[in-house]
Homo-oligomer: A and B are copies of this chain.
Amino acid sequence: MSEHEILIQRAYELAIAAVENGNHPFGALLASGPTRQDIVIESMNTVHTNNDVTRHAEMELLRKASKQLGAEKMAELTLYTSTEPCAMCTGAIYWSTVSRVVFGCSAALLGEIAGDSFTIPCREIIARGERDIEVVGPILESQGAAVHKSYW
Protein backbone atom coordinates (compact mmCIF):
# COMPACT_ATOMS: atom_id res chain seq x y z
CA MET A 1 0.00 0.00 0.00
CA SER A 2 1.19 3.52 -0.75
CA GLU A 3 1.59 6.07 2.02
CA HIS A 4 -1.95 7.42 1.85
CA GLU A 5 -4.02 4.36 0.95
CA ILE A 6 -4.83 3.27 4.50
CA LEU A 7 -6.49 6.55 5.41
CA ILE A 8 -8.22 6.98 2.06
CA GLN A 9 -9.74 3.53 2.65
CA ARG A 10 -10.92 4.80 6.04
CA ALA A 11 -12.45 7.85 4.30
CA TYR A 12 -14.31 5.46 1.97
CA GLU A 13 -15.60 3.55 5.01
CA LEU A 14 -16.89 6.86 6.40
CA ALA A 15 -18.54 7.63 3.03
CA ILE A 16 -20.35 4.28 3.15
CA ALA A 17 -21.37 4.95 6.76
CA ALA A 18 -22.78 8.33 5.70
CA VAL A 19 -25.08 6.56 3.24
CA GLU A 20 -26.14 4.10 5.94
CA ASN A 21 -27.10 7.17 8.01
CA GLY A 22 -29.23 8.55 5.17
CA ASN A 23 -26.76 11.03 3.69
CA HIS A 24 -24.55 11.45 0.62
CA PRO A 25 -21.47 9.20 0.24
CA PHE A 26 -18.68 11.40 1.55
CA GLY A 27 -16.31 11.04 4.50
CA ALA A 28 -13.26 12.95 5.73
CA LEU A 29 -10.73 12.91 8.53
CA LEU A 30 -7.75 14.76 9.96
CA ALA A 31 -4.64 12.75 10.83
CA SER A 32 -1.14 13.35 12.15
CA GLY A 33 0.35 10.48 10.13
CA PRO A 34 -0.63 7.79 7.59
CA THR A 35 -2.07 5.09 9.91
CA ARG A 36 -5.44 4.57 11.60
CA GLN A 37 -3.78 5.28 14.93
CA ASP A 38 -2.92 8.77 13.68
CA ILE A 39 -6.55 9.82 13.12
CA VAL A 40 -7.53 12.85 15.22
CA ILE A 41 -11.08 13.68 14.01
CA GLU A 42 -13.44 11.97 11.58
CA SER A 43 -16.59 13.28 9.88
CA MET A 44 -19.31 12.37 7.42
CA ASN A 45 -21.69 14.20 5.15
CA THR A 46 -24.87 15.12 7.10
CA VAL A 47 -26.73 17.19 4.49
CA HIS A 48 -29.96 15.20 4.71
CA THR A 49 -30.06 14.39 8.41
CA ASN A 50 -29.28 18.00 9.35
CA ASN A 51 -31.39 19.46 6.52
CA ASP A 52 -28.49 21.80 5.68
CA VAL A 53 -26.82 22.00 2.26
CA THR A 54 -23.53 23.20 3.76
CA ARG A 55 -22.87 20.05 5.75
CA HIS A 56 -20.38 18.35 3.47
CA ALA A 57 -17.92 16.01 5.20
CA GLU A 58 -15.01 18.45 4.96
CA MET A 59 -17.10 21.32 6.37
CA GLU A 60 -18.18 19.17 9.30
CA LEU A 61 -14.54 18.24 9.86
CA LEU A 62 -13.19 21.80 9.76
CA ARG A 63 -15.96 23.09 12.02
CA LYS A 64 -15.29 20.42 14.62
CA ALA A 65 -11.54 20.86 14.34
CA SER A 66 -11.73 24.66 14.61
CA LYS A 67 -13.46 24.28 17.95
CA GLN A 68 -11.75 21.19 19.35
CA LEU A 69 -8.16 21.60 18.13
CA GLY A 70 -7.51 25.21 17.19
CA ALA A 71 -5.55 26.67 14.31
CA GLU A 72 -2.04 25.78 15.50
CA LYS A 73 -2.77 22.04 15.88
CA MET A 74 -4.75 21.89 12.61
CA ALA A 75 -1.74 23.24 10.72
CA GLU A 76 0.19 20.06 11.60
CA LEU A 77 -2.47 17.66 10.29
CA THR A 78 -3.39 16.22 6.89
CA LEU A 79 -6.97 16.32 5.69
CA TYR A 80 -8.04 13.08 4.01
CA THR A 81 -11.29 13.11 2.07
CA SER A 82 -13.06 10.37 0.14
CA THR A 83 -13.68 12.69 -2.84
CA GLU A 84 -11.86 15.77 -4.07
CA PRO A 85 -13.32 18.79 -2.22
CA CYS A 86 -15.87 21.00 -4.00
CA ALA A 87 -15.52 24.78 -4.32
CA MET A 88 -17.22 25.37 -0.95
CA CYS A 89 -15.03 22.89 0.90
CA THR A 90 -11.85 23.99 -0.87
CA GLY A 91 -12.62 27.56 0.17
CA ALA A 92 -13.08 26.43 3.77
CA ILE A 93 -9.78 24.52 3.63
CA TYR A 94 -8.11 27.68 2.33
CA TRP A 95 -9.46 29.74 5.24
CA SER A 96 -8.31 27.07 7.72
CA THR A 97 -4.67 26.35 8.59
CA VAL A 98 -4.65 22.84 7.08
CA SER A 99 -1.60 22.59 4.83
CA ARG A 100 -2.11 19.23 3.09
CA VAL A 101 -5.14 17.61 1.45
CA VAL A 102 -5.27 14.01 0.23
CA PHE A 103 -8.32 12.92 -1.76
CA GLY A 104 -9.60 9.59 -3.07
CA CYS A 105 -11.96 9.96 -6.02
CA SER A 106 -11.45 12.98 -8.29
CA ALA A 107 -14.16 15.62 -8.74
CA ALA A 108 -14.10 14.93 -12.47
CA LEU A 109 -14.93 11.23 -11.98
CA LEU A 110 -17.62 12.06 -9.41
CA GLY A 111 -19.11 14.43 -11.97
CA GLU A 112 -19.21 11.67 -14.59
CA ILE A 113 -20.88 9.26 -12.19
CA ALA A 114 -23.31 11.67 -10.50
CA GLY A 115 -24.06 13.70 -13.63
CA ASP A 116 -23.04 16.98 -12.04
CA SER A 117 -20.92 19.66 -13.69
CA PHE A 118 -19.98 21.76 -10.65
CA THR A 119 -16.69 19.93 -10.29
CA ILE A 120 -13.89 22.48 -10.31
CA PRO A 121 -10.53 20.81 -9.56
CA CYS A 122 -9.51 21.89 -6.05
CA ARG A 123 -5.95 22.62 -7.16
CA GLU A 124 -7.32 25.26 -9.54
CA ILE A 125 -9.12 27.10 -6.71
CA ILE A 126 -6.19 26.82 -4.29
CA ALA A 127 -3.82 28.18 -6.95
CA ARG A 128 -5.76 31.46 -6.90
CA GLY A 129 -4.72 32.18 -3.31
CA GLU A 130 -1.43 32.86 -1.60
CA ARG A 131 -1.47 30.05 0.94
CA ASP A 132 0.67 27.00 0.17
CA ILE A 133 -1.54 23.90 0.39
CA GLU A 134 -0.20 20.57 -0.88
CA VAL A 135 -2.79 18.46 -2.72
CA VAL A 136 -2.34 14.71 -3.25
CA GLY A 137 -4.75 12.54 -5.26
CA PRO A 138 -6.55 10.74 -6.67
CA ILE A 139 -5.78 7.71 -4.47
CA LEU A 140 -7.49 4.33 -4.90
CA GLU A 141 -9.88 6.05 -7.27
CA SER A 142 -11.60 2.87 -8.53
CA GLN A 143 -12.66 2.07 -4.95
CA GLY A 144 -14.09 5.57 -4.59
CA ALA A 145 -15.87 5.29 -7.93
CA ALA A 146 -17.48 2.06 -6.75
CA VAL A 147 -18.84 3.83 -3.66
CA HIS A 148 -20.34 6.56 -5.86
CA LYS A 149 -21.69 4.18 -8.51
CA SER A 150 -23.66 2.26 -5.90
CA TYR A 151 -25.27 5.52 -4.72
CA TRP A 152 -25.95 7.95 -7.59
Which residues of A come within 8 Å of B, CB atoms? Answer: 50-54, 59, 62-63, 66-67, 70-71, 86-92, 94-96, 116-118, 120, 125, 128-131
Contact = CB atoms under 8 A, between A and B. Distances in A.
Nearest to A59: B54
A89 B91 CA distance: 8
Contact of A53 (B62, B86, B118): B62
Total copies of this chain within the assembly:
2
Given A87-B91, A90-B91, 14 more contacts: A50-B67, A51-B67, A52-B67, A53-B92, A54-B66, A87-B87, A87-B88, A87-B94, A88-B89, A88-B94, A94-B118, A117-B128, A118-B129, A120-B125
A118 B124 CA distance: 12
A75 B90 CA distance: 25
A66 B46 CA distance: 13
Nearest to A56: B95
A59 B54 CA distance: 8
Contact of A95 (B54, B70, B96): B54
